[in-house]
Amino acid sequence: MLVIANWKAYVEDFAKAKELLAASKKASRRSSCDIVLAPPAPFLSALALGNKSAVAFSAQDVSYTEGGAKTGETTALMYQTAGATYAIIGHSERREAGDTDAIVAKKLSHALAHGLTPILCVGERERDSDGRYLSFVREQITAACAPFTTKERAQIIVAYEPLWAIGKTADHAIGPNDLAEMVLYVRKVLSELLSGKNARHSLVLYGGSVEPTNVRELAHASQVDGFLVGHDSAIREDFVKLIKELS
């Protein structure tokens, strides 16, 4: 299981960031999960450079640009230099702030060019009874992958994160049966974009109110490869408990 801890802007002081890293290292030693921490950008290098544990690091986003006269931008190369090996791209909170499918594709290309494994977030705002949310998710994945070769596409991890489930509590998360169905659906879409062998290897994650109380059932009921955890990844005890549930 791959577990991405998306600290978002919940972690604002470095002391808390260090505590969370220490707890994650300890949890990872006792677990078969692969843990990836996505701290706020200013903390990344201090946490990641010189880190000798199995815990890996991710950017929460990367810039659409590649350096130069762009005040305030943090590029994929900067993240890579600071110790990240993954990058979350197309998160709904970034799409809300203006990331279009074209911007998402551009960010994916920068991440891939600098050796960051992209975690592409997709997901519908709400579910309708006609199943239009399925074509919405298909279009998001297809648009993001369109500019890339099959080999590049195979490196992209897809995180299915329905907006209606984000930032709530476990009882508002997706149910196990619906997750099982969505994971199969995302794999089907990927299999159309990749050649057979690659499609089998690409990872599909779920995010949206994953907590210690629902993570095990979600993992067992579906073929999901892991989780993208938001609010509960910034609460030390909860995150440790969540990892334990998966071990």
Residues that bind ligand PGA (CB under 6 A): 6, 161, 166-167, 207-210, 228-232
* Bridging pattern class, strands 204-207 and 117-122: unpaired
Q: In sequence order, what are the beta bridge partners of 34? A: 2
The smaller minimum CB distance to ligand PGA, of residues 148 and 212, is found at 212
Q: Two tokens at 30?
A: 């006792």
Q: Which residue is nearest to ligand PGA (CB)?
A: 230
The smaller minimum CB distance to ligand PGA, of residues 134 and 229, is found at 229
Does residue 220 have an active-site annotation?
Answer: no
- Least distance (Å) between residue 120 CB and ligand PGA: 12
The smaller minimum CB distance to ligand PGA, of residues 91 and 110, is found at 91
- Least distance (Å) between residue 63 CB and ligand PGA: 20
Cα(147)–Cα(144) distance, integer angstroms: 7
Instruction: Please pick, among 124, 161, 211, 245, the residue that the annotation labels catalytic.
Output: 161
The smaller minimum CB distance to ligand PGA, of residues 35 and 199, is found at 35
Does residue 91 have an active-site annotation?
Answer: yes
Query: Smallest Cα–Cα separation from 61: which of 18, 119, 101?
Result: 119
DSSP symbol at 67: S
Instruction: Please pick, among 91, 110, 114, 231, the residue that the annotation labels catalytic.
Output: 91
Q: Two tokens at 209?
A: 């109110």
Cβ-count burial 180-215 (b if 16+ within 10 Å, e if not): bebbebbbebbeebbeeebbeebbbbbbbbbbbbbb
Cα(209)–Cα(36) distance, integer angstroms: 17
Catalytic residues, by residue number, are 91, 161
